[in-house]
């Protein structure tokens, strides 16, 4: 049994337009999650954190300039695994400079959010408990 579906030109145009819109929307979503979010200002970084469901103190506790290593140690490989679980990947940034902004989370005791920014874009980070037995979580929107 064969099934043939025929479309008029108008219907085909509508279907193609809907597919194109879907591809554009998905592209924007994955661009944002893969390091496309603007982190060039303190206000934008705080807004990004709030979009994740985290309430940051508006003043960064720490600002550190780093260079993402060319060769990943076991620690960096595991940390990048955490990044990849949230849709980020530090591999394309090996050997590049970045800045790590750390903000205290006001609605969770002993918790900070670290945002890694390169060329004004958020390329990764984590939400971490600063307790000795604390855990580190990926930046996944709630």
Give exposure, 120-132, as e/b (b: 16+ Cβ within 10 Å).
ebbbbbbbbbeee
Query: What pLDDT, in 10s, does the model give residues 48-93?
Result: 999 999 999 999 999 999 999 999 999 999 999 999 999 999 999 9
The answer to whether residue 1 sits within a structural domain is: no
**Number of structural domains in the chain:** 1
**At residue 122, what are phi and psi to the nearest 5 degrees?**
-80, 120
The answer to whether residue 36 sits within a structural domain is: yes
The answer to whether residue 32 sits within a structural domain is: yes
The answer to whether residue 19 sits within a structural domain is: yes
pLDDT at position 18 over 80: no
Kindly state the average pLDDT of the residues 96-120: 97
Supply the range of the domain harboring residue 18.
9-137
pLDDT at position 119 over 90: yes
The answer to whether residue 87 sits within a structural domain is: yes
How much is the pLDDT for 13?
A: 47
pTM for the model stands at 0.75
The answer to whether residue 2 sits within a structural domain is: no
The answer to whether residue 142 sits within a structural domain is: no
């Amino acid at each position: 049994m064969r099934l043939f579906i025929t479309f008029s030109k108008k219907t085909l145009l509508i279907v193609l337009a809907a597919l194109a819109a879907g591809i554009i929307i998905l592209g924007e979503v994955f661009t944002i999650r893969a390091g496309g979010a603007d982190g060039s200002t303190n206000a934008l970084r705080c807004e990004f954190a709030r979009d994740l469901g985290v309430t940051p103190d508006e003043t960064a506790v720490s600002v550190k300039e780093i260079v993402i290593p060319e060769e990943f140690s076991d620690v960096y490989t595991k940390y990048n695994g955490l990044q990849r679980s949230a849709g980020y990947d530090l591999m394309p940034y090996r050997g590049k400079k970045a800045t790590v902004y750390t903000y205290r989370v006001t609605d969770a005791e002993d918790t900070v959010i670290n945002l890694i920014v390169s060329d004004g874009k958020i390329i990764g980070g984590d939400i971490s408990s600063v307790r000795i037995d604390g855990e580190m979580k990926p930046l996944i929107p709630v």
